[in-house]
Structures are given as structure tokens and as C-alpha cells.
């Protein structure tokens, strides 16, 4: 709800994502008692160069600490979340490029006060702005991280060394599509985990895992992963099927086809020639296909 009582609805969030996720609406400005309607607030650079969140027409009304405290008071329920969608341009909830005002002109280099404390409290939590969800690559990346976070919560309910190993193995191909060296570092961390250091290593793993998941997968890395997966079929496909698969992956490499096409073709072959490793990999089915996230990347 906006300060003037209006709203900026987002049909993709409420409609498409609403069919798969349970949302918890929260407005920190309401939570600190600003009410509706209310005087607008903004990020203001003061004479001492500090940035404060103040009321537009009265800079003596400063809500910076109240918003920070509000964020800290929400950590119990926020710790159970799988993702967080923030409000673009908001002085409380903007993730990036929020206007900071001074005596000359506003500069888009700020972060909302509540949003900044949220990200400090939960550096591993998938967070995105609703405005950026219009970008197909950012949208796919965010939703994939949300599903990965959900799987982490489920795994953590009965955390064990074998469970962590299995979690890593099932995300291996997704991580390989991000960055190879960081993926190998995660593998070494898992290999060095035992019962004594499980809690410590699992905390570090989550931070590094989600940081790597945030990296945008490149077309080149996807091609490498697709070719790696293709290798599991080399004993089963005839020459015609092999040629079709090679050509499909190459057309994706050239940008002539979206990622969903080679993925669909590979899934078709693995239905005929099942492989336990591929069947357990989240790369082939990272989220419900009805979301159509791979159709535009």
C-alpha cells in the first residue's frame, strides 16, 4: 500500500507466482506507525554527508532507526522465508538505485533502510525487486534460488553429512552453469565436512551456495552442462538422434533457440533411457515447468 493509499499491483507476482508461492505482505512503514495516508519519506544526504530517511517536508522527522529496528524485530519469521520481493525505488524497501536527495539533485545510488538491514541479517536469502522481475534472466535466476532455498529448509530439518552431500550432488549441474571454480570450492567444503564440523560448514556452505546461485548462468556454461548431460546418452542414441541433439544444443549456443528446447529434448531421451544421476539432478527440472521460465533465456 502506497503512502497516498494507492497501490502498484504486479500481475506476475499476484497471478503467476501466486499459484506456487504463499505470500506474506509486510510494509515496514506501516509497521512503524506511519499510517495511511501519510507524508512521503525519502533518503536525504545531510550536511555531514550521512544519509537518513526523513519526511519530505520536514527533515527533523527521521525514521531511519525505527526502520532498522523494525527489520531486526522481524528476524524470527523472516528466517523461515524462501525469498523476499522488495519494492522498487522505495526509501524503506528499495534494493538498489534508490534516489538519495541533496541540495542539488537526487542521485540513484541508495538502498532502502529496511531493505539494507534485511540483506545484512540474511545475506543468503534470495531477494529481488518487483521491477527487475520483468527481466527474463533475473526472473529465472531469482525463482530458481527461491526453490533452492526451499529445498535447503527441508534438508535442514534433518541435517546430516549424507544429506548435505546429496543436496550438493543434486545441485551440481546448476552450480556448474554458474562458475566452475566456485563450484569446485563448494565441493571441497562438502568433502571436508564431518559430524564435528557439520553445523559450521553447513552455515558457510549456505552462504557460498546462495552467492554462487545468484551468479547469472551464461549461455556458454549452459552449453557445457548440456554437452556434459548429453554424454550420459552416448551409448543409447542412434546417429540420427545424436545429430538432432548436437544441432539443437548448437542452435541454443547461437541464440536461435531458448534453453527449454534442448532441456525438453534431453528429458525426452532420458524418459526412454533413464539415468539415476540425471533423474536426481535439479538442473533438468529446477521448478514447475508451468512457470515457463526457460522459454525466454
pLDDT digits (tens, 9 = 90+) for 227-247: 999 999 999 999 999 999 999
Work out how many domains the chain is built from and give that number: 2
The per-residue pLDDT for range 145-181, each reduced to its tens digit, is: 999 999 999 999 999 999 999 999 999 999 999 999 9
Residues 158 and 279 in one domain: yes
Q: How confident is the model at residue 122 (pLDDT cuts 50, 70, 90)?
A: very high
Residue 55 has pLDDT above 90, yes or no: yes
- Percent of the chain predicted with pLDDT > 70: 97
What is the three-class DSSP state of 46?
coil
Which of 107, 133, 159 finishes a domain?
Answer: 133
Residues 216 and 98 in one domain: no
In a domain, residue 2? The reply is no
Residues 166 and 258 in one domain: yes
Residue 1 has pLDDT above 50, yes or no: no
In a domain, residue 4? The reply is no
Half-sphere exposure of 210 (CA within 13 A, CB side): 25
In a domain, residue 33? The reply is yes
User: What whole-number distance in Å separates Cα of residue 196 and Cα of residue 46?
Assistant: 50
Domain containing 46 equals: 11-133
In a domain, residue 5? The reply is no
pLDDT value, residue 38? 86
Which of 106, 133, 160 finishes a domain?
Answer: 133
Residue 125's nearest CA partner among 96, 150, 155 is: 150
User: What whole-number distance in Å separates Cα of residue 294 and Cα of residue 122?
Assistant: 28
Provide the phi-psi class of 33: left if phi over 0, else alpha when psi is between -120 and 50, else beta. Answer: left
What is the three-class DSSP state of 87?
coil
If you average pLDDT over residues 23-31, what whole number do you get? Answer: 95
Residues 167 and 209 in one domain: yes
Amino acid at each position: 500500500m502506497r503512502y497516498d493509499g494507492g497501490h502498484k499491483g504486479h500481475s506476475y507476482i499476484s497471478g503467476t507466482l501466486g499459484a506456487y508461492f504463499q505470500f506474506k505482505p509486510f510494509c515496514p512503514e506501516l509497521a512503524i506507525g506511519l499510517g495511511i495516508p501519510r507524508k512521503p519519506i525519502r533518503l536525504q544526504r545531510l550536511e555531514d554527508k550521512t544519509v537518513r530517511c526523513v519526511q519530505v517536508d520536514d527533515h527533523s522527522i527521521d525514521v531511519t532507526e525505527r526502520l532498522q529496528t523494525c527489520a531486526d524485530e522481524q528476524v524470527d519469521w523472516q528466517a523461515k522465508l524462501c525469498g523476499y520481493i522488495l519494492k522498487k525505488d522505495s526509501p524503506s524497501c528499495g534494493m538498489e538505485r534508490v534516489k538519495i536527495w541533496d541540495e542539488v539533485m537526487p542521485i540513484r545510488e541508495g538502498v532502502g533502510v529496511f531493505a539494507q538491514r534485511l540483506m545484512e541479517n540474511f545475506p543468503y536469502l534470495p531477494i529481488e525487486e518487483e521491477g527487475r522481475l520483468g527481466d527474463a534472466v533475473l526472473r529465472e535466476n531469482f525463482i530458481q534460488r527461491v526453490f533452492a532455498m526451499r529445498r535447503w529448509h527441508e534438508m535442514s530439518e534433518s541435517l546430516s553429512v549424507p544429506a548435505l552431500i546429496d543436496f550438493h550432488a543434486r545441485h551440481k549441474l546448476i552450480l556448474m552453469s554458474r562458475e566452475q571454480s566456485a563450484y569446485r570450492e563448494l565441493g571441497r567444503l562438502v568433502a571436508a565436512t564431518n559430524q564435528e564440523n557439520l553445523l559450521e560448514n553447513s552455515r558457510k556452505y549456505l552462504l557460498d551456495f546462495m552467492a554462487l546461485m545468484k551468479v547469472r548462468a551464461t549461455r556458454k556454461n549452459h552449453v557445457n552442462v548440456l554437452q556434459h548431460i548429453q554424454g550420459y546418452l552416448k551409448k543409447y542414441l542412434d546417429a540420427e538422434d545424436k545429430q538432432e541433439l548436437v544441432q539443437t544444443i548448437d542452435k541454443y549456443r547461437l541464440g536461435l533457440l531458448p534453453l527449454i528446447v534442448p532441456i525438453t529434448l534431453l528429458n525426452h531421451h532420458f524418459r526412454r533411457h533413464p539415468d539415476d544421476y540425471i533423474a536426481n539432478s535439479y538442473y533438468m527440472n529446477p521448478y514447475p515447468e508451468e512457470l515457463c521460465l526457460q522459454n525466454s533465456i
